[in-house]
Structures are given as C-alpha cells and as structure tokens.
Amino acid sequence: MENLRHLLPSAGNLIVFEAAGRHMSFTRAARELAMTQAAVSYAIRSLETQLGAPLFQRAHRAVHLTEAGRRFHADVTLGLSHIRKSAEDIRDRGKAASVTLAASTAFASFWMLPRLHRLRDDLPDIDLRIQTADRDLDIRTEAIELGIRGGRPEDWPDYESALIAPEIIEAVTSTAYLERHGEPESVAHLTQHRLIHLEEPFRVACDWRQWFLSAGVNGATANRGLAINDYVLVIQAVMEGQGIALAWRHLTGRLIASGLLHRVTQHSLVTGAAFHVIWPKGRTLTPQTSRVLEWLTAEGRKLND
C-alpha cells in the first residue's frame, strides 16, 4: 500500500476545510479556529492542489462547495467525528469516574473518613464525592447516586436499600471524665452523672429517656447536662471530658476500640432499625455506582461480623 502520509491531506487542512464547509464562509471558519482569513484560504488552496480538484466555488463575499467538495466534506465530517469520539472515550477512561454519596455529617466523619484510604486502594478509578446536609436529601431530585439513611426499608417505599449496619446504641465517655467523676455503678447510677444530649433538629434519633426505658430505668430525673444539635460535636464534647453521651456503635466502634471512648455500662439498645445505603427504584445504576454500592455493603459486613 502506498504510504498514507503522502496520500492523505494534512489533518490541519482537513479541520480547516470542515469548518469552512460547515459555515460556508472562510471568515467565520477563521473566527472559530482563531486563524486569519488568509490562513484559511491558503489551507483550502493547499488541499485543492493536493487533491487536484476545486472544493469551493468562490463568489463575491461568498463561497459554495462544489459537487466534489460536498462529497468530500461529508466524508471528512464523518471521519473527524469518529476520531473526536474515540479521543473523548480514551480521555474519559483515563479520568476517575465520579459517584456522589449523600450522608449525615456524623456518618461522613466517623464511618466514611476512616475508610477512605481503603476506598482509594480498592476503587482507584472512582472519585467519590460525599455530600453532607442537616437533613436527608431527596437523592432522586438532587440527581445524587446513593444516600445513607437510618430507619427501616418500609420508611422509603420509593427506594431500594442495602444494609450497612444495625442500630445499636450505647453509653460512652472519655478517660478524662472517668478520672474526675468515677465510673457509674449501674445504668440507674448514670442518671446522676453529667449527660450530653443530642437534640437532632431534622432526623429522628433515640434520646436518653428511650435508652433508660430500654434498660428498665426511669430516666425522668436524669441530669439534663449539655444539649447539642450536632452529633459530631456531641462526640467531640465527650472526648473533651464534658460528660457521657449515647453512641451509635457503627459510628463510634473504632473510637472505643482505640481507647478514645469507653462504654460505661454493658447495656445496649438494639432498636430493630438499621442504617442502609439507598438509591431510587427504577434507576439503572452505572457500573461505577454499582461498585461503590458493593464496596459500602462489604465494609458494613466487616463491621457486623
């Protein structure tokens, strides 16, 4: 086969020809390509010389494709579009695919952030974006791929769900608090200690009254202590030695294991609810979203084993 380098026109001239034929104007093509009108005219004449046929009919302040020019323009346009699509596909494969996960600040801080290094190792080609909000976002209308919700699947009839962790609630404090105030002798004795209360503004959350009742204790006389409307700040206050708070095991288990927090009784409240990853029913998940979903549920199984 004769060397294509000598048979085919230069790519630059073909790009100029495509723009000039599409606009039917050397001037507009020059503007689009950031060239001078003279440079466009020169490129077209070079192409015509190489092909041995006129591609444009020149008139006063107007150009029109010849019959040969129309046929060639159709083929050049098709060829360049295939090349552009192939180049875009290659570039896209080289970029990390993006998946957005909507979650509470507490879940993002205590569950996701400690695991991000594993996510990067396991899914290096996926860019996970974590979107937090004070209230649960409507991921269908927000065009978010996945969300984390606490409750029961029947609470979200329009969503599919997969288990992350059951809801298990314990009482925890810090070493500093125990050194100053001593360890509670029983669940009932907890009512005399400084308690930190989560006043959740939007989501439904277990409170001290419910937790005491689950242990058969009347918590009506419990120390009111400190009230905070953000769970991340509740745990920070506990670690600073400000009191005792309720802890959701899937969020604080790592802090307990590391010694930053301590359980103060053996009582745990298992509510029967759980935390799930959800996505809208009827939505076809992209391959990268399915991989993130599988990764989240696998991490949940590790926690629950």
The token pair at 290 is 């399915």
Which residues of the chain are under the pLDDT cut of 50?
A: 1
Which contiguous run of DSSP H or E holds residue 110? none
* Residue-range domains of the chain with CATH: 4-94 (1.10.10.10), 97-163+277-304 (3.40.190.10), 167-272 (3.40.190.290)
- At residue 91, the pLDDT reads 66
Predicted local confidence at residue 1, as pLDDT: 42
Give me the pLDDT at residue 96, please: 55
Q: Alpha-carbon distance 25 to 61, whole Å?
A: 8
Both tokens of residue 289? 């979203």
Report the predicted TM-score, pTM, of the whole model to 2 decimal places.
0.68
CA dihedral of residues 210, 216, 222, 226 (deg, nearest 10)? -40
Cα–Cα distance, 212 to 204 (Å, whole number): 17
Report angle CA 246, 116, 255 to the nearest 5 degrees.
30
**Res 93: pLDDT:** 58
pLDDT digits (tens, 9 = 90+) for 61-100: 788 899 998 999 998 888 888 888 777 666 655 555 789 9
